A and B are shown apart, each in its own frame.
Chain A
Amino acid sequence: MKIFFLLTAAFLMLGGFFSTANVFAEDAALLFEKLTCNTCHGPAGKGMVRTETKEKYYLKKKQMYRDMIKEGMPVDIVKELRPLYKKKFSDREEFILAIEALIGKADTDKYKDIIINIGGRVYWHKGDLVPGFEDYPRHAGNKQLYLYRQMKDILEGKRTNGNSEAMRGIRPFIDNNNITDDDFMRIAEYLSNVK
């Protein structure tokens, strides 16, 4: 019986330790987002670089069909594309296949550039720098103490160069979350461990 209680206690203590450790690890990551740090330094502090390509193919207006005719496409073929009205595609190849299913491969090859030009939009490619953030630093993998000192110096107004003014602009928002030095240190530790 005694052994049973001892084992149970040990198990609970271990479980408690691991769950607490996880909560702390998650906390720093959550805090990084809660304080909106990720909006300028990227997810997990990896910098503002597009992590995936974003494109959209979407014949959302009837005017787009009229524009195809203006661009020289025959009315008959344009009419056959009506089932695509208001259907969204996030992949160019899928969109082309849907067009092929309606007007055949030969006409698709002939007119796809016009259709894509009218109904498609490529927002960005994977790996593109996010405009406006070209000179914002990535923090993932940087030294913990360095990150901590920069956070403190910028928010306290000791470091004033670069884009520090942008960070100080949200200082009341950060302060309002009752952030302590330990929190800054934990965020720094979390960022330094991101691979």
Chain B
Amino acid sequence: MKNFFLMKSCKTLIIVILALFLIALSIYAAEGEKPMSAEEMRKAAAEKAAALAKPPPGGKWKATAEEALEALKLEGDVEEGEEIYTVCAACHFPTGWGDPLGVFPQLAGQHTTVLIKQISDIRAKNRDNPTMYPFAMQIEGAQDIIDVCSYIQTLKMNPNPRVGPGGPDWMLSNLRKEVWPISLDKIQQKVGNENFKKLKTIEEKEFKSKKEFLKALTNTIGAGELEKHEEVILKNAHWETDLDLGKTLYEKNCVKCHRDHGQGNWHEDPPVVEGQPAPDDKGKTEPAYFPVIAGQTYLYLLRQFSWIQIGKRRNANPDMVKQIKEFSFLDMKSVTDYAGRFEMQEGDWAEVGGEDEEGWDLGEEEEDDEDIPAHLRD
């Protein structure tokens, strides 16, 4: 009788344990099916891309993300790249020329190594670009990166890119706030609302001499008011560049990497380590990431230049950051105006791979189909 009760309670215990196990299992399964929230998905995607970035061995300006290093070794598929580019075309335009204000840069004509590095840097949050970030996250990996870059390589550059003023230039602009912190809005408090309203009538009008600009200001707010506010107005409208100064600065500071006509560089000799013999594979080069600046939109170059100087563009070449530390606003405007006017030449780019020229040789097994009798073959 005692055994009977013992057995019965044992059975009950097993049933209870089983039931508890099933309940726990169903809770676990239900949790497993629970979809990720948008924030979780975004976080997971960001972590996945960031995980691909290794600690930079030679400064963050070199390609360090695993997917970038892999993409550099792969062969691109132009057709596939064209499909991927439809996403990019919404902002960079189907031509790849970007917009005249340089909010979206020209991609056409850029070296593939540079494009690969910039895309993977944005994906790995090594270059802050909140506008482009979600678009970059649509790329599925190294093969997609090289595919889209191969397609971009087929695009012809803008034959008439927006260049700088190339001399005196005065303009009350609010469209350039992001390029450099001077603007019409900035002087509103200093000149007062009445004057500000009047100055708005010549907003974005470009004047090619200081005399012309002062005349327009006199006509707008009157000589008396101009006298009071001349200094602050001129300071916030001075977009003049000096191409001679730009040439001197370019030749002194930029030629080594961006080369004599802004063609940049996509390959360089492997580094020679002191005390060690030169490598046997002489002539073999390593990827380099010096961008093409020839023909790039002036305001894009100027904006990026200033961002590199203040450290906002984090993935820049550290040597450049040091070199341009003391550049004045006039220096920056002048050197970017000068460099943007260069034109690319034949031989400045890496050679593009040819078509798929392989034959229909489907391997050794195919030989069995040949008409040659087996005993006559090698």
B38 at the interface (CB under 8 A from A): yes
Instruction: Select one of A40, A63, A135, A169 contacting B129, CB under 8 A.
Output: A169
Give the A interface residue count (CB, 8 A).
35
Do the beta carbons of B138 and A62 come within 8 Å of each other? no
Interface of A is mostly: helix
Instruction: Select one of A40, A62, A135, A165 contacting B38, CB under 8 A.
Output: A135
B133 at the interface (CB under 8 A from A): yes
- Report B-chain residues with C-beta under 8 Å of the C-beta of A62: 356, 358-360
Give Cα A78–Cα B361 distance, bound, in whole angstroms.
Answer: 12
A176 at the interface (CB under 8 A from B): yes
Name the segment of A24-32, A101-109, A126-134, A185-193 touching the other chain: A126-134
Closest Cβ neighbor of A38 among chain B residues: B90
- Report B-chain residues with C-beta under 8 Å of the C-beta of A169: 103, 129-131
Do the beta carbons of A136 and B134 come within 8 Å of each other? yes
Q: Which of B116-138 contact A (CB under 8 A)?
A: 129-131, 133-138
B204 CB to nearest chain A CB (Å): 9
- Report A-chain residues with C-beta under 8 Å of the C-beta of B130: 163, 165-166, 169
Q: Is the interface on chain B under 10, 10 to 19, 20 to 34, or 35 or more residues?
A: 35 or more
Do the beta carbons of B178 and A171 come within 8 Å of each other? yes
B143 CB to nearest chain A CB (Å): 10
Do the beta carbons of A75 and B365 come within 8 Å of each other? yes
Give Cα A176–Cα B39 distance, bound, in whole angstroms.
Answer: 33
Q: Which of B357-375 contact A (CB under 8 A)?
A: 358-360, 362-363, 365-366, 368-369
B41 at the interface (CB under 8 A from A): yes
- Report B-chain residues with C-beta under 8 Å of the C-beta of A182: none
A125 at the interface (CB under 8 A from B): no
Do the beta carbons of A78 and B174 come within 8 Å of each other? no
B79 at the interface (CB under 8 A from A): yes
A60 at the interface (CB under 8 A from B): yes
Taken residue by residue from 313 to 343, chain B's Cβ proximity to chain A (1 for < 8 Å, 0 otherwise) reads as 0000000000000000000000000000000
A170 in contact with B42 given A69-B362, A75-B369, A78-B362 (CB within 8 Å): no
B237 CB to nearest chain A CB (Å): 17
Give Cα A167–Cα B133 distance, bound, in whole angstroms.
Answer: 12
Taken residue by residue from 69 to 106, chain A's Cβ proximity to chain B (1 for < 8 Å, 0 otherwise) reads as 10000011011001000000000000000000000000
Interface of B is mostly: loop
A95 CB to nearest chain B CB (Å): 17
A18 at the interface (CB under 8 A from B): no
Taken residue by residue from 131 to 163, chain A's Cβ proximity to chain B (1 for < 8 Å, 0 otherwise) reads as 111111000000000000000000000000001
Do the beta carbons of B135 and A132 come within 8 Å of each other? yes
Give Cα A129–Cα B39 distance, bound, in whole angstroms.
Answer: 13
Closest Cβ neighbor of B303 among chain A residues: A172
Do the beta carbons of A132 and B133 come within 8 Å of each other? yes
- Report B-chain residues with C-beta under 8 Å of the C-beta of A165: 130
A57 at the interface (CB under 8 A from B): no
Closest Cβ neighbor of B90 among chain A residues: A39
Do the beta carbons of A36 and B365 come within 8 Å of each other? no
A65 at the interface (CB under 8 A from B): yes
A130 in contact with B138 given A39-B91, A66-B362, A172-B177 (CB within 8 Å): yes
A128 CB to nearest chain B CB (Å): 11
A61 at the interface (CB under 8 A from B): yes
A173 at the interface (CB under 8 A from B): yes
Do the beta carbons of B174 and A36 come within 8 Å of each other? no
Do the beta carbons of B90 and A61 come within 8 Å of each other? no
Do the beta carbons of B362 and A166 come within 8 Å of each other? no
- Report B-chain residues with C-beta under 8 Å of the C-beta of A175: 174-175
Closest Cβ neighbor of A175 among chain B residues: B175
Closest Cβ neighbor of B176 among chain A residues: A172
Instruction: Select one of B39, B45, B99 contacting A132, CB under 8 A.
Output: B45
B180 CB to nearest chain A CB (Å): 12
B14 at the interface (CB under 8 A from A): no
B101 at the interface (CB under 8 A from A): yes
Do the beta carbons of A75 and B366 come within 8 Å of each other? yes
Give Cα A166–Cα B135 distance, bound, in whole angstroms.
Answer: 11
Do the beta carbons of B175 and A135 come within 8 Å of each other? no
Give Cα A22–Cα B124 distance, bound, in whole angstroms.
Answer: 45
Q: Which of B138-196 contact A (CB under 8 A)?
A: 138, 174-179
Give Cα A171–Cα B185 distance, bound, in whole angstroms.
Answer: 15
B104 at the interface (CB under 8 A from A): yes
Give Cα A148–Cα B60 distance, bound, in whole angstroms.
Answer: 40
Give Cα A136–Cα B137 distance, bound, in whole angstroms.
Answer: 14
A52 CB to nearest chain B CB (Å): 14
Instruction: Select one of B91, B99, B137, B179 contacting A131, CB under 8 A.
Output: B137
Interface residues in chain B, defined as those with a beta carbon under 8 Å from any beta carbon in chain A: 38-39, 41-42, 45, 77, 79, 90-91, 99-101, 103-104, 129-131, 133-138, 174-179, 356, 358-360, 362-363, 365-366, 368-369
Question: Would you list 18 pairs from A and B whose C-beta atoms are within 8 A, ordered by A residue?
Answer: A36-B90, A38-B90, A60-B79, A62-B358, A69-B363, A75-B362, A75-B366, A79-B362, A130-B134, A131-B45, A131-B138, A132-B135, A169-B103, A172-B101, A172-B176, A172-B178, A173-B101, A176-B101
